[in-house]
């Protein structure tokens, strides 16, 4: 099994959009309503001569955004067990929610490396509300827009730095 990178985060933060952006194809289903990623979806990525497997761990996501549901928990446990690196995705428009903090607590216990990623920063400017994401204590987050592709190259550089 090659180096495996899992995209983890609560429903609707843009996991499937980021997955498709990196893979370059519309493999994973994106929808406005939480609950549409059918299953774990895998793709092979090559960046700067390094290869890894990317996983959209969405699972079948339930309604209700700021709750630590059993589905989200299972997704996190899967990511911890079967990946070498975790991309922890959050939503700049929603801010840092309780569920985000709970997911991080689970991820941290694993000891696996985590890259914090803040998505939906569509018009990049240093806005005060983005500073709250530093409070997680995971280091400097990568601010991206999965829809526009901004900073996704920087994120890929960071990922292959772990391989």
| Binding-site residue positions for GTP | 9-16, 56-60, 119-122
Q: How many CB atoms lie within 10 A of CB 117?
A: 29
Rounded-to-integer distance, Cα 99 and Cα 148, Å: 26
The C-alpha atoms of residue 62 and residue 51 are separated, in whole angstroms, by: 32
Kindly state whether residue 151 participates in binding ligand GDP, applying the rule CB under 6 A. Answer: no
Partner whose binding site includes residue 146, from ligand GDP, Mg ion, none (CB under 5 to 8 Å by kind):
ligand GDP
Query: Within 12-31, which residues bind ligand GDP (CB under 6 A)?
Result: 12-17, 30-31
**Which residue is it, tokens 């569920």?**
99
| Residue 32 in contact with ligand GDP, rule: CB under 6 A | yes
Binding-site residues from annotation:
9-16, 56-60, 119-122
Q: How far apart are CA 115 and CA 130, in angstroms?
A: 16
* Chain contacts with ligand GDP (rule: CB under 6 A): 9, 11-17, 30-32, 34, 37, 58, 61, 119-120, 122, 145-147
């Amino acid at each position: 099994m090659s180096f495996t990178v899992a995209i983890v985060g609560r429903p609707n933060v843009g996991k499937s959009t980021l997955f498709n952006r990196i893979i370059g194809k519309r493999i994973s289903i994106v929808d406005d309503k939480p609950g549409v990623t059918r299953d774990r979806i895998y793709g092979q990525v090559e960046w700067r001569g390094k290869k890894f497997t990317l996983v959209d761990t969405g699972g079948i996501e339930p309604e209700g955004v700021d709750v630590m549901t059993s589905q989200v928990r299972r997704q996190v446990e899967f990511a911890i067990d079967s990946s070498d690196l975790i991309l922890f995705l959050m939503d700049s428009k929603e801010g840092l929610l309780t569920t985000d903090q709970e997911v991080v607590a689970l991820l941290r216990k694993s000891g696996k490396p985590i890259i914090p990623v803040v998505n939906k920063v569509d018009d990049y400017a240093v806005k005060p509300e983005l500073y709250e994401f530093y409070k997680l204590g995971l280091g400097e987050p990568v601010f991206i827009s999965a829809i526009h592709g901004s900073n996704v190259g920087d994120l890929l550089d960071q990922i292959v730095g772990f391989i």
